[in-house]
Amino acid sequence: MSQLWQKLTSLNFLRNESSGNAGNGHNKIGQEEQFPLEPDTIALLEGLTGRPCRHVTLYRTALTHRSVLHDLPQNAEQPESNQRLEFLGDAVLDLLISEHLFKLFPSSDEGHLSNNRAKIVNRKALANFAAGLGLGECLIIGDSADRQRIRTSESALADAFEALVGAIYLDQGIAGAERFIMTHVISKVDLQRIVEEEHNYKSRLIEFAQSHHLPAPLYCVIAEEGAEHEKTFTIEVSCNGVVLGRGRAPRKKDAEQIAAREAMSLIETRDPFDRQADS
C-alpha cells in the first residue's frame, strides 16, 4: 500500500500544476496542438464522460502514443505523449477502486483487497475496457507503430485508458473521474463472482490445482481441542505432498476455509511447487 500512498500524495500537486498551466501557451499541456482531435473523437469522449471536454488538449495528450515522438524529425517541436497522464490515471484508478472495494468488502484485510483490485485493474482488464470504448481507433500514433498494429496492443490500450482517467481527473475533478470509472469499469465487472471468490477459498484452491494439473487438495484434521460440545478443530491442507496452510475454528468447514485462505495467500506470494518442479 506504500506505493499507492506515494501515488496519492502526488495527485493534488499534479492537478494544481495542470490548473495553473492551463492558460500558459509555453507549457506542454497548454501548447498549440500539433495533432488536433477529430470532431468525432471529441464527441465520443464527451459521450463517455457525460460532460463537455473543457481542456481538449488534455484528452489529445491522453491519446498520444509515445511512437509519435520517435517518428518526428529531431528538430521538430515534440508533443507530449500520454505517459505522464498514464501515471496520474493509474493513481486515480487505484484510489477510486480501492475505496469502492473497501466499502464493498468490510471484512477483507489488505491482502485480499489488493488481490481484488488487481482483478479489476490489471493490464488485460484495462485493455479490454479501452477496446470496448473504442479508444484504439482514437489513438494518435506514429506511422511505424501503426504498421505494427499498436491500436490493438494490450499495452497501448491499457496505457491510453489510464491516461484518459488522468485527463478526466484534471479536467473534471475527482467527481468526474469517479463517474467515468463507475460507468465504464465497476458496472462492467462481475462483482458477484468477486464476492464468491473472496469468501470461497476452497473453490479457488481447487481451481488453482486444476489449472496447474495438480491433484485435488487434501484436508486433514491434525488436532481436536476442548469438550465434545465445544471442540476446536485444527485442519491442514496440502496438495501434491506440499503443506499449504492451516486453519483453526469450532467448525471443520470454517477451519478448512481458513486453511484454504492461508494456502491461497502463500500461492499468491510465491509458487510453493517450484522446488518440486526442479527436482
* pLDDT tens readout for residues 109-146: 777 788 788 888 888 899 999 999 999 999 988 877 66
pLDDT surpassing 50 at residue 25: no
The tally of CA atoms less than 13 A away on the side-chain side of residue 151 is: 16
DSSP code for 248: E
Instruction: Write down the domain spans for the chain.
Output: 2-194, 201-278
pLDDT in tens, 177-191: 999 999 999 998 887
In CATH, the architecture of 2-194 is Orthogonal Bundle (1.10)
pLDDT surpassing 50 at residue 259: yes
* Helix, strand, or coil (residue 151): helix
The rounded distance, in Å, linking the Cα atoms of 142 and 128 is 22
What pLDDT, on the 0 to 100 scale, is given for residue 176? 95
pLDDT surpassing 50 at residue 278: no
Of the listed ranges 10-14, 66-70, 189-193, the least confidently predicted one is: 10-14
pLDDT in tens, 56-68: 999 999 999 888 7
Catalytic residues: 90, 162
Tell me the percentage of the chain whose pLDDT exceeds 70.
Answer: 78
Bridge partners of 220, per DSSP, are: 236
The CATH number of domain 201-278 is 3.40.50.2000: no
